[in-house]
Chain A
Amino acid sequence: MAEKTGCSRFSEELVGIAIGEEHPEALEHLKKCPNCSEKLEQFKRIVGTAKISRFDAPEDVIEKAKDIFQQRTAQRAQLVSSTLAMEGIRAAHQGSFQNIYSWDDHRMRVMYVKTEKGWEVISSLPSKEWQVKVRGKRIEPDEALRISFLAKELKQTTFTLEGPGITVEIPAPSVENNERQRSG
């Protein structure tokens, strides 16, 4: 093996000094070698910083932090008012009505119109960042951000809105939902 010369002679010793070993000959070299001195300082910084205690979070705490996302993203919009509030959902089978849902700072008006083919659901997106999916299929809004889709039955009109970091379910009007709003 070729004999090491100059700075390379001390490469192992530099690391040893950074770890806390004593190497007098290398220390002598360091006095007249700014390159090796700089390298030693870098090794010392690495070793010193790497030895700082590190702690893994307990598994259950990690799981709880993961849950934050689901708890906050998968929201169900609340029905805040309905034109059916006075009549009850059963009256809806005759014509059309509108519900207003809310989540966070948003409010959304949703029209339900009875047609020959079933129920047409009409609404507007809060902004361009939002998308609508009905049973997993994306519905394209028009230029004014209006969306509409058809469902055979009223109970099939549930849809989801996907916005920045949030998914909101707009539930289908039901006797329970609307009656709850009516009594509330």
Chain B
Amino acid sequence: MKDRFSDVGILLERAKRGDNKAWNKLVEHFQNLVYSIPARMGLQTEDCNDVFQTTFVALYQNMQNINEPKALSRWLAVTASREALRVRRLGSKHQGEVPEEITLEDLLVLEERSAEEMAIEALESDKIWAAVRSLPDRCKRLLEVLFSRENLSYEEISRMTGMPVGAIGPTRARCLEQLRKILQKEGFFEQEVVSQATGGGS
């Protein structure tokens, strides 16, 4: 299977050399990863838009120093989460929303940890969805439905995917197994789970 990071690596190198189209593709490739972080932190739309813009301006300014395509997604996630945290703090300051029962120092530590967790979760989610996109169409469609909606009956899944009810169970198992194998090959399960990984730097 083609290494999906190779495409990102090529785009990054081209963008560094001034290729506008490569930059556009990088923005499209990572837009969901970057935008999901402030959105999941509960920022207002306008703030999410600002975090998104600031993150890509920072990427533009720093891309000459990013050499590993795998490091790029992490760099973006961490930058977006730190910027989102900064924006959220500014908002809290104006509204005086610091809880009284914990100290400001504790609050800052908790917030930073939560921002870091958010970045890692977003990265992991991004990896899973990238792997889903590499599956055959039938699997892709079924997993998209399964992952995007809660508690669907087999009849509903059948209606949404056009798959016979009797085929859903075996196909679902086969597709998830394929997905698991792809992720295993990429070392996904060798990484620490989110709750244990928050002490790590970028």
Contact = CB atoms under 8 A, between A and B. Distances in A.
Interface in B119-142: 121-122, 124-125, 128-129, 132
A70 interface: yes
B158 interface: no
B56 A52 contact: no
B40 A55 contact: yes
A63 to B, nearest CB: 9
Nearest to A167: B18
A64 B53 contact: yes
A42 B121 contact: no
Nearest to A52: B125
A73 B176 CA distance: 44
Given A165-B16, A165-B63, A45 B193 contact: yes
Interface in B153-202: 169-170, 172-173, 176-177, 179-180, 183-184, 189, 193
Chain B binding surface SS class: helix
A52 B23 CA distance: 27
Given A49-B125, A50-B128, A65-B53, A166 B18 contact: yes
A14 B169 CA distance: 11
Interface in A34-61: 39, 42-43, 45-47, 49-58, 61
Interface string B53-90: 10011001001100000000000000000000000000
A151 interface: no
B27 A65 contact: yes
Interface residues of A, number: 40
Given A65-B56, A68-B60, A57 B147 contact: no
B180 A55 contact: no
A55 B147 contact: no
A53 B39 contact: yes
Contacts of A163: 18
A62 B146 CA distance: 28
B126 to A, nearest CB: 8
B80 to A, nearest CB: 11
Nearest to B38: A55
A55 B169 contact: no
B18 A54 contact: no
Given A52-B36, A69-B60, 17 more contacts: A39-B180, A42-B184, A45-B193, A46-B128, A49-B121, A50-B129, A51-B150, A55-B32, A55-B40, A55-B48, A56-B35, A61-B49, A62-B28, A65-B31, A164-B17, A165-B16, A165-B63
